[in-house]
Amino acid sequence: MKKTAVFALLLTAVTNTVVPPISASHNNEHRVIGTSVQGRPIEATRYGTPGGVVVVVIGVIHGDEDAGLLITKALGQSTVPNGIDLWLVPTINPDGTALSRRTNANQVDLNRNFPYAWSKMGKPGYWQYAGNRRASEPETKAIVKFLREIKPDLGIWYHQNLNIISPGTGLEGKLRARYSQLTDTPLKRITGGRYTGVAVTWQRNTFTSGYGFVVELGSSLSIEQASLHAAAVLQTAILLRDS
């Protein structure tokens, strides 16, 4: 082997081992994880360090609460810190997003349809209609299957318009408090619905060594605020990585 070839080989080895991949608007993987009732793809894109702390960010679950799309977009353009395996799912309800309505195309509130502590609630047309059985909807099935595969250490789910984050205890409380502080979102308990079949509750009870919380954004979100939230996601992920 020529000296230059050896050098090139060494350089490759050094590059691969000493300098971990840092992604800036470069993704490792893009997937369609399922299809909505009306046939729209549900997409997930992976950034950062495979094998690191698995963080999943869900931009939209209620279609008429879509400010989270700006945050997943900002995150896709961010430099992901080392040791963070970041998955972005802009919307798990692409029909609701397209139609600008809370429910999916079957009029089911997906955030009442998850298979943990599911309960019958309402009929089609009711704002919290839970579907006719647990995980009845293709969107719910898709995200359940996907999360069972990636096993998130941290899940962040965006909603609107309450502008609050519920406080938590232990490390989860610290993660929530850090996020709250970085984005100036008050820590206050979320009330006002009947919370059965909720996505984040399913996530936290399925992956019990992981953490998850809802961020209730305000009624609108500027590009600057979206960048602030994207930075807060990464800082919260770093806090978890280093804990």
Residues lying near Zn ion in the complex (CB under 5 A): 62, 65, 159
Burial of 13 (0-12, 13-18, 19+ CB in 10 A): exposed
C-alpha radius of gyration, the chain, whole number: 19
Nearest to 238 by CA among 86, 106, 39: 86
Main-chain phi, psi angles of 73, to 5 degrees: -65, -45
**Closest CB to Zn ion among residues 188, 241:** 188
Retrieve residue 32's tokens. 């369609």
Q: How far is the CB of 109 from Zn ion (least distance, A)?
A: 9
Cβ-proximal residue to Zn ion, closest one? 159
**Closest CB to Zn ion among residues 62, 204:** 62
In angstroms, rounded to a whole number, what is the distance separating the alpha carbons of residues 27 and 1? 35
In angstroms, rounded to a whole number, what is the distance separating the alpha carbons of residues 125 and 114? 19
**Residues 31 and 218: beta-carbon distance below 8 Å:** no
**Closest CB to Zn ion among residues 40, 159:** 159
Q: How far is the CB of 4 from Zn ion (least distance, A)?
A: 59
Q: How far is the CB of 116 from Zn ion (least distance, A)?
A: 17
Q: How far is the CB of 62 from Zn ion (least distance, A)?
A: 4
Q: How far is the CB of 128 from Zn ion (least distance, A)?
A: 10
